[in-house]
Amino acid sequence: MNEILKIIQERQSARVPFDPNRPVSKNDLKQILEAARWTPTAHNMQNFDAIIIDDKTVLEKIGNIKSRISEEFLRENYDQLSFSKEELLKKKTGILGAMFPPDWVDPKKMAEVAQKTEPIPLTQSIRGSATLLIVIYDSRKRAPASRGDILGFISLGCLMENIWLMAQSLGISLQILSSFSAPPVENEIKNLLSIPEYMKIAYTCRLGYPVGASKYLRVRRDIEDFTHHNQYGNKGI
């Protein structure tokens, strides 16, 4: 099998605790950042910076920041869930509901959960990772004729893929932490790290080495499910 394809297929989101005493080495970080450096970006705008956090004191301060689960997330997340392996294998999209607490996947309880759940410290999201990589987006660097800077956001996705695949090739696990981009949390992190006002947190990656197995059922559509040959509706190739 082509080595790049093998890395793509083995890549997964690591949803387990990481070893807190095993930070990512400077050499490996440089390779990850070299992959980031060569990200294709619209009009070569290179509309991002990256902040590496591996100082324990800074990690602790970030971990003490609290975030709250939103009802919007719970309801929209529910639509993507399967409640058995058989259902997930049939749908070929989404994830298993068993990955979340029972109250999070009960439509009757979602509003109550969102209102009554106490804010959760980010340390529960970081889960022992000794290295964070925060990608910040420079809103001043917009590609020409890109309404809403959609091309800029596509570029940030390309950056994420480069980072993730290089980490995978180095045996480093990764998970995207979306809670870092929520407005109240983002504001606290920006103040803590002296991030300029015009920069926004695009996403945060926790990097490290899992404690225990991180495998779970992953599904993808078959090529024939999403491919159209010469015209829409003519399935396959």
Strand 131-138 versus strand 48-53 pairing type: antiparallel
Please indicate, yes or no, whether residues 36 and 132 belong to a single structural domain of this protein: yes
Give me the pLDDT at residue 47, please: 97
Task: Assess whether 128 and 203 both reside in one domain.
Answer: yes
11 domain residue, yes or no = no
67-100 pLDDT, tens digit per residue, is 988 888 889 999 999 999 999 999 999 999 988 8
**To 10 degrees, what angle do helices 3-10 and 150-169 make?**
100
Secondary structure of 164-188 in the HEC alphabet?
HHHHHHCCCEEEEEHHHHCHHHHHH
The answer to whether 126 and 177 have CB atoms below 8 angstroms apart is yes
Final residue of a domain: which of 118, 146, 178?
A: 118
| Residues 84 and 178 grouped into a single domain | no
177-195: b or e for each residue (b if 16 or more CB lie within 10 Å)?
bebbbeeebbebbbeeeeb
- Sign of the CA dihedral running 186, 109, 214, 226: negative
Report if residue 226 sits inside a domain.
no
Instruction: Write down the pLDDT at residue 68.
Output: 87
* C-beta of residue 83 within 8 angstroms of C-beta of residue 132: no
Question: Cα–Cα distance between 55 and 53 in angstroms, integer?
Answer: 6
Q: Same structural domain for residues 44 and 145?
A: yes
* pLDDT surpassing 90 at residue 118: no
Indicate whether 49 belongs to any domain.
yes
- Is residue 222 one of the residues assigned to a domain? no
Residue 77 lies in a domain: yes
CATH number where 161 lies: 3.40.109.10
189 and 95, same structural domain?
no
pLDDT (0 to 100) of residue 94: 94
Please check whether residues 135 and 190 belong to one and the same domain: yes
φ, ψ of residue 145 to 5 degrees: the values are 55, 40
Which tens digits make up the pLDDT trace of 194-229?
Answer: 999 999 999 999 999 999 877 788 999 999 999 999
Identify whether residues 125 and 197 lie together within a single domain: yes
46 phi, psi to nearest 5 deg: 50, 65
Beta-bridge mates of residue 208: 173
Query: Are 135 and 107 in a shared domain?
Result: no
Both tokens of residue 174?
């990764």
d(CA 222, CA 70): 33
Backbone φ, ψ for residue 137 (5° rounding): -105, 130
Residue 113 lies in a domain: yes
On whether residue 186 sits in a domain, the answer given is: yes
CB-CB contact of 30 with 133 (8 Å) = no
Do residues 135 and 189 both lie within one domain?
yes
Query: What is the chain's mean pLDDT, rounded?
Result: 94
101 has pLDDT over 90: no
CA–CA distance, 167 with 159 (Å, rounded to integer):
12
Domain that residue 94 falls in: 69-118
State the pLDDT at residue 1: 63
Number of structural domains (the chain) is 2
What is the Cα–Cα distance from 101 to 86, expressed in whole angstroms? 20
**pLDDT tens-digit readout, 159-181:** 999 999 999 999 999 999 999 99
State the number of CA atoms in the 13 A half-sphere of 231 facing the CB.
0
